Amino acid sequence: MKQSNIDNKSKRAAAPAASVAAAAGAAALAADKAAKCPGLEAQERENARKTQEMSKDKFFRINMTLPIELDKVLEDIGIEARSSGGFKIPKTTAVRALIRVAKIIQPDFSGVKTEQEVLERLMEAIKRYKGK
């Protein structure tokens, strides 16, 4: 048998072993995570249940254009959540939460003509909300 055939056979035999090792490592990581956060499994089940409750038929799809720097802000929100022990937050989740905040602080948009005016009104509403 040629040397290259032997090398290929040994590589194929090593591949399943590497897969098993990777799976074992992932399981160990999950077990370590669960040990650090005992309620994590229950929390993950609760998050899955909430996601199932929010079926797609309850949502209205929109197309939205953003400048690159604002898209980067949304991406960074998700990355920060994941890097600090949480889950990566999708951009749509961040946008929905920001809209809910706007609903809570009740800005006055009457007579607004530009994006800058919208921003100013939102900042004024935040200050009013904090002052309550």
Write out pLDDT tens, residues 21-63: 444 454 444 555 545 555 556 666 666 666 656 666 688 888 9
More confident residue, 95 or 47: 95
Task: Give me the mean pLDDT over the 3-15 stretch.
Answer: 51
Residue owning tokens 């999708």: 90
**Mean of pLDDT values over 15-24:** 46
Smallest Cα–Cα separation from 122: which of 130, 70, 91, 71?
Answer: 130
Q: Where are the beta strands (DSSP E) in the chain?
A: none
Predicted confidence at residue 53, as pLDDT, reads 60
Q: Which position has the token pair 């490592």?
A: 25
pLDDT digits (tens, 9 = 90+) for 121-130: 999 999 999 9
Q: Kindly state the DSSP code that residue 111 receives in the 8-state scheme.
A: T
Three-state DSSP at 99 gives: helix
